[in-house]
Amino acid sequence: MSSAFQDSSLGLKLKGYLLVPNDALENKVAVYTIKIAQDLLAEHPEIVDGWLQKLHHEYMSKRNACEFENDPVACFNLSVYEEFEKHYKSWQDGGLIAISLPGDRVIRVSKKPLFSVSKTPAESCDECRMTFATVKELVRHYGEKHPAMIEKVTMPI
């Protein structure tokens, strides 16, 4: 499903100092829902990275047009792109990028997540705080390390 967001027509644009989806991406997010889009982009930050690189290239082009060609339109828009560059640098260092959507909704994505959350629930021992992937492993642990507490774990609810 991540290939749905790798379409070359999808991308980001600057609206003031906000990153917003282009029309094609906004439609795609509406079809897949914000939650699914956020999950897919969080799992595949390279997609967002490609969109941000396109904006970075736009910045470089506008900066060159302003500095070397004295293009007043490029110079006028440069401050917005310079603010984007700060966020882009943060993104490259592992920070979050916020993609603003209509209705004050936001998709936040990090290139290098600072932590990961297991998708499988973990069971933990109340006595020593060790974590186990399954209830079976937890029961075995209680049997070996805390035999007096085994009824607590195996008691039917």
Instruction: Sketch the domain layout of the chain as residue ranges.
Output: 2-110, 123-154
pLDDT digits (tens, 9 = 90+) for 39-64: 999 999 999 999 999 999 999 999 99
Interval 142-157 mean pLDDT: 68
> 65-82 as b/e, with b when 16 or more CB fall inside 10 Å?
bbeeeeeeebeebbebbe
Contact between residue 97 and residue 106 where contact means Cβ atoms under 8 Å apart: no
Residue 113: the pLDDT is 60
Q: Which residue has tokens 């799992």? A: 43
d(CA 21, CA 54): 13
The larger pLDDT score, comparing residue 18 to residue 133, is at 18
pLDDT digits (tens, 9 = 90+) for 81-139: 999 999 999 999 888 899 999 988 999 999 876 554 544 456 777 777 677 777 788 78
d(CA 138, CA 121): 13
Residue 55: the pLDDT is 96
pTM of the entire predicted model: 0.69
Residue 141: the pLDDT is 82
Contact between residue 41 and residue 107 where contact means Cβ atoms under 8 Å apart: yes
